Amino acid sequence: MKCCVMLAVLLFGLMLNLSISGPSIVEAKLEEKFHWKQLVFDWPSNEAEQEAIKTGRYVPENNLPLGLERWNNKMFVTVPRWKAGVAASLNYIDLNSSEKSPKLRPYPSWQANTLPIEMQPSEHKTSGGRLDAEKPTEADIGLKDNATIISTFRIQVDACDRLWVLDTGLADILGDAKQITPNSIVIFDLKQDKLIRRFAIPKDQTKEDTFFANIIVDSERAECNNAYAYVPDLGAYGVIVYSFRDNRSYRVKHNFFHFDPLNGDFNVGGVNFQWTDGVFGMAVGPMNPDHTKDIYFHALASTKEFKVSNRVLQNESHVTSPDAYYDFKYVGDRGMNGQSTAEIYDKETGVIFYTQVNKDAIACWNVKRPYNSETQGLIDSDSHTLVFPNDLKVDTEGIVWVLSDKMPTYLYKELDPAAVNYRILMGKNRDLIKGTPCEM
């Protein structure tokens, strides 16, 4: 009996030691910085807000945040025009604000985020009843202000203090959908808050099911004019490559851009749904000795990760030929329920941080290690604060920012206006990976 008691004590001590020092333990969790029950905006006046509500130009419950990015004291937040009544699609929060639910300020201005009255969406459906985006007319393309943002999902600040915005040009996506302007890359000088360029993606580079919802920038401060942007097409399974220097783009296709039919089932926040979203998450990896970078990517409806050299993507004649097929490489698998909306490479730690939407979680992987379920580190998982982590970024100070927004509930059910629905969380990169397989 005494022997059994001693054995039990030893086993308990071993289990206690493992629970304290094991790599699976999360030693630091993300902290909530901001939250909202419904988004609030910094209107020019109370009268302007009330008039917008009265006319239907502002319907509070229809405004859902999706993307984020930090630059200096600005935290940019995007609000796609999923439904009618979105106040402004491109906004920012003053990070010096002490408010827990601060008002969003349209960027670069209210005017640039206001739909012209003559461009309000009109209904257009196919014979099957499916909403279909109307093609823009030449009159639609002629915006009074090229800085106008119709609807954006994801944005990115580059090494040269420029904000790159992918404007889908599509308003009231789930309702009376209308393609007001072509899909466009819009670039702002953040130091002067001025438009640098608006580039419309050519029509022959889009497909019937095209849906652009992300933009990734590949740039170096010493070569600002040689920047490239990669725009994944999650609906038609391709990637648009844009050269800032040449001010032109081309389309790349590959089998790895498609979704995985075995991983299109999602369960998030009590909502079950099926998606066929292809390539979506992308990240620019570290500089290699030969001055190339690997571009990591994955489909949303998939658990697999791939990569391709930026030298391949930036060589139009090669990447658009059959010869380029084997230049795209399989990296590994995140494992069951490892679907991810976004990923970002952190130069300081050599880690790629990414979302795990089916797990209400944020995870990580060190690019120097093999890519499998054992080398993936779980940073934080919370069925309350991380329901559908939609976007994440790492800023120049090493702070990881995460936006969660309960989007499946917004799309397929109804959000509770009395509950906190949207959150922005933060954590220090090195603290978050401590004790995980990502720490080396």
Q: Is the separation of the CB atoms in 376 and 437 below 8 Å?
A: yes
> Measured between alpha carbons, how far is 116 from 416 in angstroms, rounded to an integer?
31
Question: Partners of 388 in the beta sheet?
Answer: none
| Residue 119 confidence (pLDDT) | 53
Output b/e per residue, 39-71; b: 16+ Cβ within 10 A. Answer: bbbbbeeeeebeebeeeebbeeebbbbbbbbbb
Q: In terms of CATH architecture, what is 262-440?
A: 6 Propeller (2.120)
| Residue 142 confidence (pLDDT) | 53
pTM over 0.75: yes
Q: What is the mean pLDDT, run by run of 10 residues, along the chain of 440 residues?
A: 42 38 54 98 97 96 98 98 98 95 98 75 36 40 80 98 98 93 97 97 97 98 97 98 98 98 97 98 97 98 98 98 97 97 98 98 98 95 97 98 98 97 98 94
Ordered strands of the 279-287 beta sheet? 279-287, 293-299, 304-309, 329-333
> Measured between alpha carbons, how far is 213 from 232 in angstroms, rounded to an integer?
7
Instruction: Sort residue 290 into left (φ over 0), alpha (ψ -120 to 50) or beta.
Output: alpha
Nearest 5°: phi and psi at 266? Answer: -125, 145
Q: Which amino acid is at 61?
A: E
| Residue 123 confidence (pLDDT) | 39
Please determine whether the domains at 30-203 and 262-440 fall in the same fold group of CATH.
Answer: yes
Q: Which fold has domain 30-203?
A: Neuraminidase (2.120.10)
Q: ∠ CA(289), CA(290), CA(295), 5° rounding?
A: 90
| Residue 440 confidence (pLDDT) | 82
What are the percentages of helix, strand and coil residues in the chain, rounded to 5?
Answer: 20, 35, 45
For 94, counting Cβ atoms within 10 Å of its Cβ (0-12 exposed, 13-18 middle, 19+ buried), the class is middle
> Measured between alpha carbons, how far is 141 from 116 in angstroms, rounded to an integer?
12
Sequence ranges of the domains in the chain: 30-203, 262-440
| Residue 292 confidence (pLDDT) | 97
